Amino acid sequence: MASTDPSQEFDLIVVGCGIAGLSAAVTAQQNGARVAVIERAIKEERGGNTRYTESYWRMSSRDEVSADFEDQLARNSGGYPDPELIKETTRPYDEWPPLLKSLAITDPELISTLAREAPIALQWLETFGVTFDFLPNYFINESTTRMAPVGGGLALVEALATYAETVPGDINFFYETTAKALIRGADGAISGIAAVGKGNRRQEIRGQAVVLASGGFEGSPEMQSHYLGPQALYIRPVARGGHYNRGEGIRMALDAGGAPAGDYGSFHAQPVDPRSGEQEPVVLTYTYGILVNKLGRRFVDEAPATVDASYESRTRIIMQQPEGLAYAIHDGGLDDVPNWQKSVRSRVPPLTADSVPDLAAQIGVDAEALIATIEAYNAACPDPAGFDPIHADGLATQGLEPIKSNWARVLDRPPFRAWPIIAANCFTFGGIKVNTNAQVINMDGEVIPGLYAAGEVVGLYYRNYPGSTSVMRGAVTGRLAALDFTRRHNRAA
């Protein structure tokens, strides 16, 4: 039910109504807690990023994560930390020095916990009527296994929120309410949230603990500019839900002394058509063509690996181009790729022409520069006899900088097609350090009593996003937080 009484007190306060927040709220209620959920959006748009994602999980079955899950998370768990400190991770966590507990890396214990708990979270979601399966996606070729809920992230949000609404009094929603600050008790523990509702009405919502599950800062131009640099002007959230994620949860945790974790200077980038207002209007065919910037020049290896394993790093490089814009250039050879249309989610047709000069005029690029780029590329392409659109085929350019490592074929067959591409911000990487109970760790390696973080607020990724793991992270960390809270407060299982 919706609640507007600011004087109410609860056992657990959850900030955010996406997969992380709803998993925390429902798990806590099932274990005997009375919960408040604070959500910035109106009810009809609840769910944050989860509402708009297809919600793929890096799973090999409903009982097990993919074979590469832990390895991929470990590869993207930090920069170049001190190896002497890292040696300490072989000891039991309780014996780690405080410095290591607060270090900005993803702890191996957290990675293994996510791997262990993901199947449990998936099967728990199934008890609410959600069905998971190996569903079609927009990748023509793939490097791992994925499952998804039928109906996508919206199915997860509606299943959990509908359940929550059947237990009025146990789970109370505060819609159109934004959490602004944490309230500390006399003992230093977190004991509530200072929030702002409609009409700038201030209120305090108190409880025994808080779970921050309010997303990253992809909806905050100020924070993006601060952490990602001035080119952040040219990126936007990949879907409507991201606009609600403005970083307050991360700021509150940092202000409370929480240790930062995750790559604050990076984000999960997706290549989208800026002309489209649809959710996730990705363009993922460019591995079979070339990418050029507004100067008509190539600037990156378009195909170092299959597109699912490389699109994020390519997209962040697109962000660094003039005005954060690139064009995917194709010729008629694109039609040799079976079902290529599924990798373009924009409904806006490409710009087409019968010649390269005409295409250059349509996209506003200098014709001589584009002709020179395509001629140099074509001259460097190998014999196309081994072309294999499904697997990395090793058809690489020769003597061209930058190289194109796979699927390099000449562009000389009309129609010539171009899609504009910008970087969309699916979610930011920078967040807060947590332990395997999703408790927030402070800068001195200690737990902040009464404070948990879940979902995008948890700093987990560095450099590159191991695809199809974020919704898993949200469900697992939300549940971990609620289970730890109810254990500590002797709630009935």
Would you list the DSSP string of 126-187? HTTT--EE----S-SS-SS--BEETTHHHHHHHHHHHHHHTSTTTEEEETT-EEEEEEE-TT
pLDDT value, residue 135: 80
Look at residue 119 and give its three-state secondary structure: helix
Domain made up of 274-424: CATH architecture: Alpha-Beta Complex (3.90)
**Percent of the chain having pLDDT more than 70?**
98
**Hey, how many other C-beta atoms are within 10 angstroms of the C-beta on 396?**
18
pLDDT value, residue 313: 94
Beta-sheet pairing, 35-38 with 12-15: parallel
pLDDT digits (tens, 9 = 90+) for 15-55: 999 999 999 999 999 999 999 999 999 999 999 999 999 89
DSSP string, 215-281: --STT-HHHHHHHH-GGGGG-EESSGGGGG--SHHHHHHHHTTBPEES-TT-EEEEEE-TT--SSS-
pLDDT digits (tens, 9 = 90+) for 418-429: 999 999 999 999
- Locate 277 and state its tokens: 């207002």
Look at residue 433 and give its three-state secondary structure: coil
**Percent of the chain having pLDDT more than 90?**
90
pLDDT digits (tens, 9 = 90+) for 165-203: 998 789 999 999 999 999 998 898 999 999 999 999 999
- The residue written with tokens 């394993």 in the block is 309
pLDDT value, residue 5: 52
Mean pLDDT of the residues in the chain: 95
pLDDT digits (tens, 9 = 90+) for 266-293: 999 999 999 999 989 999 999 999 999 9
pLDDT at residue 6 above 50? no
Determine the average pLDDT of the residues in 314-343.
97
- DSSP structure class, residue 32: T
pLDDT digits (tens, 9 = 90+) for 388-403: 999 999 999 999 999 9
Look at residue 484 and give its three-state secondary structure: helix
pLDDT at residue 492 above 50? no
Structural element, H or E, at residue 351? strand 351-353
Contact yes or no for 449/245 (Cβ under 8 A):
no
* Nearest in space to 438 (alpha carbons), one of 491, 480, 483: 480
pLDDT at residue 379 above 80? yes
Phi, psi values for residue 237, rounded to 5°: -60, 145
Domain ranges of the chain: 12-266+429-488, 274-424
pLDDT at residue 491 above 60? no
- pLDDT band of 252, cuts 50, 70, 90: very high
- pLDDT band of 1, cuts 50, 70, 90: very low
pLDDT digits (tens, 9 = 90+) for 429-471: 999 999 999 999 999 999 999 999 999 999 999 988 998 999 9
Task: Report CA dihedral (284, 288, 294, 299) to the nearest 10 degrees.
Answer: 100
Domain made up of 12-266+429-488: CATH architecture: 3-Layer(bba) Sandwich (3.50)
Determine the average pLDDT of the residues in 317-323.
97
Topology match between the domains 12-266+429-488 and 274-424: no
pLDDT at residue 483 above 80? yes
Rounded distance, CA 98 to CA 166, Å?
Answer: 43
pLDDT value, residue 65: 96
Beta-sheet pairing, 439-441 with 326-330: unpaired
pLDDT value, residue 168: 78
- Whole-number CA gyration radius for the chain: 24
Residues 6+ away with beta carbon under 8 Å from 20: 211, 213, 454, 455, 456, 457, 473, 474, 475, 477, 478
pLDDT digits (tens, 9 = 90+) for 130-162: 999 998 777 777 768 899 999 999 999 999 999
Task: Report CA dihedral (228, 327, 419, 238) to the nearest 10 degrees.
Answer: 0
- pLDDT band of 297, cuts 50, 70, 90: very high
Contact yes or no for 214/224 (Cβ under 8 A):
no
- Locate 13 and state its tokens: 């306060």
- Locate 486 and state its tokens: 């109810």
Residues 6+ away with beta carbon under 8 Å from 211: 12, 13, 14, 15, 20, 21, 24, 438, 452, 453, 454, 478, 481, 482, 485
pLDDT digits (tens, 9 = 90+) for 66-91: 999 999 999 989 989 999 999 999 99
**Hey, how many other C-beta atoms are within 10 angstroms of the C-beta on 354?**
10
pLDDT at residue 2 above 50? no
Beta-sheet pairing, 447-453 with 209-212: parallel
